[in-house]
Amino acid sequence: MLEKDMFNPIKEYLNELGYDVKAEVLNVDIVAKKDDTVLIVEMKKNLSMKLLYQGCNRQRLYDNVYLAIFNPGYKTIRSKAFREKIHLLHRLRLGLIVVDVEKNKVDVLLDPKEYAFRQNNKKKKMLLKEFTERKTAVNIGGSTRKKIVTVYREQAIDIAITLKDGPLATKEITQLTKNKKATHILYKNYYQWFERVDRGIYKLTELGIKELEIFETIINND
């Protein structure tokens, strides 16, 4: 299918809404006018960076700019990746139309409208808390397939260091690490580093000993 195949379904849809529709007006794919309202539609096979640029460029002419693409299917539209693209369009104040040429059907997924910036205060506090409480700066931005050193991992490392020489009671571990969450971390054992050998007494597992050596090297080289 070609981009021009979307024109008639979009034209019919806009005509039904009372718009006068014309194509290729000074390089603009579709221009529609009803009274004082003017709409611009730019068409591409899929949602590409080129189409986003065209949409933003058309906003220099009128506020109501729509991007039109072939309907990618229900599964794609419901996907996280596509929803993130919709979010981007919303922030750019661009509308989105999907066209099913075979069914001669047009769906408007998004209208151009002002984006209200709302911050997630809970995540904002979590971000600042993680930044403030983290002791090391060993992580490298953009790294993949590498273990990230978080505040939680730092605390687990501190506990593991206290257990290098043998089993200890949770009370001793809490005192040595000065971490009130030590007992919880030992009980949760998220990284499988700790093993309970008796009531309130823990030691390092073989995995804990092995991974502690790796993280100690990383932290000491910070």
Residue with token string 């090297």 = 217
Going from N- to C-terminal start, the domains of the chain cover 3-110, 121-220
Q: 38-66 in b/e burial notation, b at 16+ Cβ within 10 A?
A: ebbbbbbeebeeebbebbeebbeeeebbb
Integer Cα distance of 138 and 222 in angstroms: 6
Q: State which fold the 3-110 domain adopts.
A: Trna Endonuclease; Chain: A, domain 1 (3.40.1350)
Q: Higher model confidence: residue 22 or residue 116?
A: 22
- Residue 71's closest CA among 48, 96, 54, 94? 96
Q: What CATH code is assigned to 121-220?
A: 1.10.10.10
Q: According to the model, what pLDDT value does residue 29 have?
A: 92
Q: Give 28-66 pLDDT, tens digit per residue.
A: 999 999 999 999 999 999 998 999 999 999 999 988 999
Q: According to the model, what pLDDT value does residue 221 have?
A: 63
Q: Is the pTM of this model over 0.85?
A: no
